[in-house]
A and B are shown apart, each in its own frame.
Chain A
């Protein structure tokens, strides 16, 4: 379909230093849109836990207060939603997946991870895209506790993939030997979801 010019469309250019940080087809936002398929769960932290299960030697679980004791990192990253918005320089505090995995022995076959959340949401990410600082479980955004509509008390953040991979209201990681699709991945969205390759939908 190359060759179509939209008659009379000029577009809104951002400064080059911004434009180069926007993956193809994305536009810049300065607010923080909310996209969720259903109602926002409101899990009190005293009933919250985080669990690692599936293909691991023995599952491990943290209460909220135990999770707060884990070493944290603060990162500033750009995030891109498949609904086309990109937000630059978002600041998160949380626990890296690397740190979590120090507490568990993963079966060598467990190369794929299903993140699961309150409300039944799931999303799949290969293990090698969560380690080496690529994925973390965040509970602060912009130096404040993460609001429920943005995924609080804690959400996964995997900034190099479309943001549906950054599961809101996360409650754990399940290790799998196959790259099974999660919620949106079962509904026509891309199994991987790299914004720079524009992997929005199945077949992209």
Chain B
């Protein structure tokens, strides 16, 4: 297989999604396309040649050609995300290669029903799947269970509401783990068995499930799903962050 070549993306737009999350749109000279759920490697080089790399999920659908959207959470004591958030401007060049990852991917050819469970910025690769699904005018039944601390932490709020419009076949369910908005009547706790049972009920054991988020959330959700009888090979996971230990 040919090597994944590094290429230079030009930052065309920077969008503030939440107080700690920004999206970066990069125009790419020779992007080969990707599948929803893929990620890229980003490489930064300092003047003395020091380099570091990070992986970021692609937020955009493959239908958005010639460019990629990366949505990046600010990790205040991090090395790369503060640079992206506070230094990078429109017109800057960012070096990246990809697409990478062949397992945590979904496209309409895989069918459904599609159950997506995201925690925090774990929603990013799931959003690529939902955007792709909409771009394909697919009505494959889909549900997104999205765990956030507060309403301020919801990434893609308006777009998710649009995607889940009448007749779309998509339901978006939020759970607020720290503070729910005033008047909220939905979930307001960490994802647990009772919640998953309710969310997965319309799909039963047929669901194709993708879980992405902090390790503790993913471990817990994946274990609960298997405990509920979901076949392990239909539960695909992507984890980030420490174990908490």
Chain A residues within 8 Å of B, Cβ to Cβ: 1, 4-13, 24-27, 29, 31-42, 83-84, 119-120, 147, 149-150, 183, 186-188, 200-204
Is A36 within 8 A of B237, CB to CB? yes
Nearest CB of chain B from residue A111's CB, rounded to whole Å: 23
Tell which of B40-48, B134-142, B148-156, B179-187 binds the partner.
B40-48
Is A9 within 8 A of B222, CB to CB? no
CB-CB nearest in chain A for B47: A5
Q: How far is the CA of A177 from the CA of B202 in the complex (A)?
A: 48
CB-CB nearest in chain A for B43: A25
Residues of A within 8 A of B47 (CB): 5, 10
Q: Contact check: which of B45, B243, B245 meets A4 at CB < 8 Å?
A: B45
Q: How far is the CA of A204 from the CA of B12 in the complex (A)?
A: 29
Is A11 within 8 A of B3, CB to CB? no
Tell which of B99-107, B123-131, B188-196 binds the partner.
B99-107
CB-CB nearest in chain B for A150: B243
Residues of A within 8 A of B93 (CB): 4, 6-7
CB-CB nearest in chain A for B3: A203
Q: How far is the CA of A178 from the CA of B51 in the complex (A)?
A: 36
Residue B241 at the A interface, CB < 8 A?
yes
Is B3 within 8 A of A25, CB to CB? no
Binding site of A, secondary structure by majority: helix, strand, loop or mixed?
loop
Which of B5, B46, B236 gathers most chain A CB within 10 Å?
A: B46
Is A24 within 8 A of B51, CB to CB? yes
Could you list 17 examples of A-B contacts with CB < 8 Å? Answer: A1-B95, A9-B44, A9-B45, A10-B47, A32-B245, A33-B240, A33-B241, A34-B219, A34-B243, A37-B237, A39-B222, A39-B232, A39-B235, A147-B243, A149-B215, A202-B1, A204-B3
Q: How far is the CA of A147 from the CA of B216 in the complex (A)?
A: 13
Residue B4 at the A interface, CB < 8 A?
yes
Residues of B within 8 A of A34 (CB): 215, 219, 239, 243
* CB-CB nearest 5 A-B residue pairs: A203-B3, A187-B102, A31-B242, A39-B222, A202-B1
Q: How far is the CA of A202 from the CA of B5 in the complex (A)?
A: 11
Residues of A within 8 A of B110 (CB): none
Q: How far is the CA of A187 from the CA of B215 in the complex (A)?
A: 22
Given the interface pairs A6-B94, A9-B87, A39-B225, the reply to whether A27 lies near B101 with Cβ below 8 Å is: no
Is A6 within 8 A of B45, CB to CB? yes
Given the interface pairs A10-B46, A12-B79, the reply to whether A27 lies near B52 with Cβ below 8 Å is: yes
CB-CB nearest in chain A for B51: A25
Residues of B within 8 A of A39 (CB): 222-223, 225-226, 232, 235, 237
Residue B197 at the A interface, CB < 8 A?
no
Residue B65 at the A interface, CB < 8 A?
no
Q: How far is the CA of A186 from the CA of B87 in the complex (A)?
A: 38
Is B243 within 8 A of A149, CB to CB? yes
Q: How far is the CA of A176 from the CA of B111 in the complex (A)?
A: 36
Q: Contact check: which of B1, B50, B100, B243 meets A32 at CB < 8 Å?
A: B243
Residues of A within 8 A of B101 (CB): 187-188
Q: How far is the CA of A203 from the CA of B83 in the complex (A)?
A: 30
Instruction: Give residues of chain B (32-80) contacting chain A, Cβ–Cβ below 8 Å.
Output: 41, 43-47, 50-55, 79
Q: How far is the CA of A11 from the CA of B183 in the complex (A)?
A: 45
Q: How far is the CA of A5 from the CA of B8 in the complex (A)?
A: 11
Is B100 within 8 A of A188, CB to CB? yes
Residue B7 at the A interface, CB < 8 A?
yes
